[in-house]
Structure formats: C-alpha cells, structure tokens
C-alpha cells in the first residue's frame, strides 16, 4: 500500500509548464529542423548544377580564306566540307541525316554548272554514306537511300579580329547562301 506524501517544506513542486508554451517550443524546434533540412537539400541540389556552361561553342574558326583551295576541302574535326569558288564560300555538313555517319565526297568526272535555289552553283562532288548507302547530290540534296533530308549547310562569316573563316554549326542556312570575302 502506497501513501501519497507532500513535498518537504521549502522544496519546489515540479514545474507544470502551461501546455501552450510547451507546444510552442516543440513547434519552434520542429520548424527549425525542417528549415535546416530544406536548406541542406537545396544546397546539395545546387551543387549539382555548375555555374559555368561547358557546352562546346558552336562557332569554330577554320583558317584564313586563302588557305582554302578552289574547289573543296574536307575538315574532319568539324565534319564539314568547305567549297570555294574564287571569293565565294559555302559549307556543307558531312553528317549523314540518317544516323549520323560521316559521308564521303566523290569527285565528279566533270564539273557541273547548276542552279540551286535560283543561284548558280558549280558542282564538283557528290556525297555518299558508307553506313547504309544514302547518296546526296553536290549541293547536299538526298537522292537515294534512307537519308530523310538534305545535308545541312552552315553559316560562314569572317572573324573581325583575324580574318579567318568562321562556321556556326548551330546556324543552318539555305542552299542559296554564299559568303563573299573581300
């Protein structure tokens, strides 16, 4: 049998915090924990996204115009054919429009004069893909095989600082595009 005893005289009775105060302290502690967790998660996610973009630039300097022979020059790094007719230049992609193999240029036995999109064009080559046999005419138009569309033509310009030819591999142009250098 137990008997209930009063606290000795002079001793403090156990404190009885009001419920509202205890709730407030618990909620405040919980809130601080959630804020800390969210902050940490945000910092972790942010660390996955770099401040700097490391995408490759789309413009590439190709060299001085004088370094390009009259006719065609293949640039393997850019997978690009650059054609020169005197002072005018145009550039055709060597990337097959089927599944992206590098097409090969084949010199025509006889240079052809053609009108492409209303502009004269001297055709010196045609192209064919070694992977699945697509064939393209000298201006890059797909003729046979699974290639669904023509080879891309890219924008050319002259760099203001050193006069080199510059290709923009993100800027496709029509088959009437020509760059004329001074």
Binding site for ligand FES (CB under 6 A): 96, 98-99, 101, 129, 131-132, 134, 145-147
Shortest CB 149 distance to ligand FES, Å: 12
Shortest Å, Cβ 95 to ligand FES? 9
82 vs 94, beta carbon nearer ligand FES: 94
CB nearer to ligand FES: give 104 or 119. Answer: 104
Say if CB 151 and CB 139 are below 8 A apart: no
Shortest spacing between CB 105 and ligand FES, in angstroms: 14
Nearer to ligand FES, 40 or 144 (CB): 144
For the CB of residue 92, give the shortest distance to ligand FES in the complex, in Å.
Answer: 15
* 29 burial type by CB count under 10 A (0-12 exposed, 13-18 middle, 19+ buried): exposed
């Amino acid at each position: 049998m137990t008997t209930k005893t009063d606290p000795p005289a002079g001793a403090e009775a156990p404190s009885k915090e009001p419920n509202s105060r205890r709730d407030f302290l618990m909620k405040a502690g919980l809130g601080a924990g959630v804020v800390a967790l969210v902050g940490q998660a945000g910092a972790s996610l942010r660390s996955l996204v770099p401040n700097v973009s490391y995408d490759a630039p789309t413009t590439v300097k190709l060299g001085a115009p004088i370094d390009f022979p009259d006719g065609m020059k293949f640039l393997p790094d850019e997978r690009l054919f650059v054609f020169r007719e005197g002072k005018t230049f145009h550039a055709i992609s060597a990337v097959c429009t089927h599944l992206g193999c590098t097409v090969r240029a084949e010199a025509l036995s006889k240079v052809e004069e053609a009108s492409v999109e209303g502009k004269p064009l001297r055709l010196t080559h045609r192209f064919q893909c070694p992977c699945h046999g697509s064939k393209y005419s000298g201006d890059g138009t797909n003729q046979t095989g699974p290639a669904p569309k023509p080879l891309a033509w890219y924008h050319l310009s002259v760099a203001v600082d050193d006069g080199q030819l510059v290709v923009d591999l993100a800027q496709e142009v029509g088959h009437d595009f020509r760059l004329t250098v001074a």
